[in-house]
Chain A
Amino acid sequence: MEKRATFSSTTIGLVFVAPMLLLIFVFFYWPSGQALYWAFTLEQPWGGGNQWVGLQNFQQLLSDPVYWNSITRSLVFGVASTAIAMGVALVLALFTDRELRFHRAYRSIFVWPYAIAAPALGLAFRFILAPEAGLLSVLNSIWPNIWNPALDGKDAMIAIVIAFSWKYIGYNFIFFLSALASIPRSLIEAAAMDGAGPARRVVDIQLPLLTPTLFFLLVINITESFQDSFGIVDIMTQGGPARATELMVYKIYFDGFKGLDYSGAAAQSIILMGLVVLLTIVQFRFIERRVHYK
């Protein structure tokens, strides 16, 4: 018989899992634990011990209209950018479904925007959408001052929504495209034989069969819009003008690192985390149930 060194499956499993666990612990549980601790204490700006304050940080935040403003802005941003990123991607994918040659190449090309770091993206869009020289400066030459993200809060919000959506359109497009390609061609043909035109087929056949993908992307897009937006906001608007683009994630950074209110920022990040978890649970609970038909 062959001689082999044997390990118990538990030991070997733990050994394999350990590096990943270590990473998750160092970069997720530890900081989360720290944030949780700070959220219930008052941290001195220049160090020197914490004082237990219980829920006071949260009470203060929730009674602050500025904080509620940032929650509203985050929701507006999240809904608008998700709707645009998914809507545009879906339309593009439906138009290109199976008609596109070299779609494997497109797959890798379109995923690149997703790989661009948010600050780099923000910088690019800051130039593209600059009121004096960017693409939309044409509008300003016709109707002076109609577009100015530096002065108009609405314009600023539109600008960051555009930038964020651009990053996710390609990502969503790839998912939609492969989901569409996985719908058997004969189903579409059967619907065509049954008398349904292209638009009717989209509504009756393709969209219902895309629901698992729609749901998945909805969760990803909403969640990312709460988190991945920081770099874009920081480079493009710094939360301005007049807090018009101060999203929750940006306010955490601003209050913590600019305002040196560590405890307030920690409490905010706990609320943001709770909100994302809550949204995900809601989505899984109530939307996913209507999705699986198979």
Chain B
Amino acid sequence: MASIGIRSVRKAYQKNAVVHGVDLDIASGEFIVILGPSGCGKSTLLRMIAGLEEISAGEISIDGVVVNNIEPRERGCAMVFQNYALYPHMSVADNIGYALKVAGVPKEERRRRVEATAKIVALESFLDRRPMALSGGQRQRVAMARAIVREPKVFLFDEPLSNLDAKLRVAMRAEIRRLHRRLGATSIFVTHDQVEAMTLGDRLVVMNAGRVEQVGAPAEVYNRPASRFVASFVGSPAMNLMEGTIDRHGVFVYDEERRVAVPDAVENRLVGHKVTLGVRAEAARLVEAGTSGSLPATVDFVEELGAGRVVHTDLDGLSFAVAVTEPVALLPGTAVGIAIDPADIHLFSSETGLRIDAAPAGAQVEPPLVP
């Protein structure tokens, strides 16, 4: 177990900067998920912590020791790679025990520890096999075992579940969670899958274009996205975003027939400003067309999810999703109204993309269980 400190860390390849100054403190034993679209620098950040990439500027410390110039093998981190990176010419047992062999652990003790670790990930009966003879899920578990056996201070996961099929992914997610509870080692998990991120992390770090957009508990990131990017990236379906202005009555104006009342606390200082209004599909409601205060829309199509359904509507060219729980029979083209409660509104500055806060914390919306 170890705490990790990241101080204005930058990474540039020649002139091409990919990470622009990241600051992050990770407590001992914490499970941190770094979430972001591909190319946002999340893997690069992880690899800098591992020691596989040089740090261009700033510093990374593990347990208070600056590790910038320390070799990967001396940092006490274990890493699970996206493609597992199993040694194809070694048996499962040799794969798991390789780190111990390199460290010069005596053969007998090595065998004992490999077997104990294999038991944790339910691989005891596969120890003699080659990785080629294993299924995707089993290979994944070998990769985990290889990390566990070293009893590292820090676990690093580089999108380890992205090569698995949907069902296995859910199972492995639970397994990783259980493992973390059991071993208690500080873990950093990189993913572009927001469901993975929400379900695994004690805290999320949302990254975009080499910068950290928000750090917080999953519910906090979901309920109070710090920027337009976070709002659109976290949550499924994505948050509905509308560009508009606040008029002098403190009402958000999208167009002539579509206006939304915003919370009193913010309206005054925003009069005349361009803002982005965000509403989660779960927070918007479908009402009869023409209901006063509702936004006129037409139904585009309905997505059936089993437990619920998402009605995709069209606001004169802007698509807007509304999640409903009860079954609906809406034909494409049907005119409907969309009602929005001021408490469910998120406002972002159109200029900076940053969140504009009303009163402290509005109504809480529970994150959905289905992706």
A138: B residues at CB distance < 8 A: none
Q: Which residue of B lies closest to A183 (CB)?
A: B88
Q: How far is the CA of A270 from the CA of B322 in the complex (A)?
A: 85
Find out whether the CB atom of B102 lies under 8 angstroms from the CB atom of A205: no
Find out whether the CB atom of A186 lies under 8 angstroms from the CB atom of B73: no
Q: How far is the CB of B362 from chain A (nearest CB, A)?
A: 44
User: What's the tally of chain B residues with a CB closer than 8 Å to chain A?
Assistant: 25
Q: Which among A194, A197, A209 is the interface contact of B98 at CB below 8 angstroms?
A: A194
Q: Is the interface of B mostly helix, strand, loop or mixed?
A: loop
Find out whether the CB atom of B85 lies under 8 angstroms from the CB atom of A204: no
Q: How far is the CB of A270 from chain B (nearest CB, A)?
A: 40
Find out whether the CB atom of A193 lies under 8 angstroms from the CB atom of B89: no
How many interface residues does chain A have, given as a range? 10 to 19
Tell whether B141 is near chain A: CB-to-CB under 8 Å: no
Q: How far is the CA of A184 from the CA of B131 in the complex (A)?
A: 15
A209-B89 contact given A192-B52, A195-B102, CB 8 Å threshold: yes
A194-B73 contact given A204-B98, A293-B130, CB 8 Å threshold: yes
A293: B residues at CB distance < 8 A: 88-89, 130
Tell whether A189 is near chain B: CB-to-CB under 8 Å: yes
Find out whether the CB atom of B102 lies under 8 angstroms from the CB atom of A189: no
Find out whether the CB atom of B50 lies under 8 angstroms from the CB atom of A193: yes
Q: Which residue of B lies closest to A196 (CB)?
A: B102
Q: Which residues A175-195 have CB closer than 8 A to chain B? A: 184, 186-187, 189-195
Q: Which residue of B lies closest to A194 (CB)?
A: B99
Tell whether A289 is near chain B: CB-to-CB under 8 Å: no
Q: How far is the CB of A73 from chain B (nearest CB, A)?
A: 37
Find out whether the CB atom of B79 lies under 8 angstroms from the CB atom of A190: yes
Q: Which among B85, B99, B103, B130 is the interface contact of A186 at CB below 8 angstroms?
A: B85
Q: Which residue of B lies closest to A189 (CB)?
A: B52
Find out whether the CB atom of A196 lies under 8 angstroms from the CB atom of B87: no
Instruction: Among B50, B85, B146, B150, find the residue whose CB has the most chain A CB atoms closer than 10 A.
Output: B85
Using a CB–CB cutoff of 8 Å, the interface residues on chain A facing chain B are: 184, 186-187, 189-197, 200, 204-205, 208-209, 293-294
- The 13 listed contacts between A and B (C-beta, < 8 Å) are A186-B82, A186-B85, A187-B85, A189-B52, A190-B85, A191-B98, A192-B73, A193-B52, A193-B72, A196-B102, A197-B73, A204-B87, A293-B88
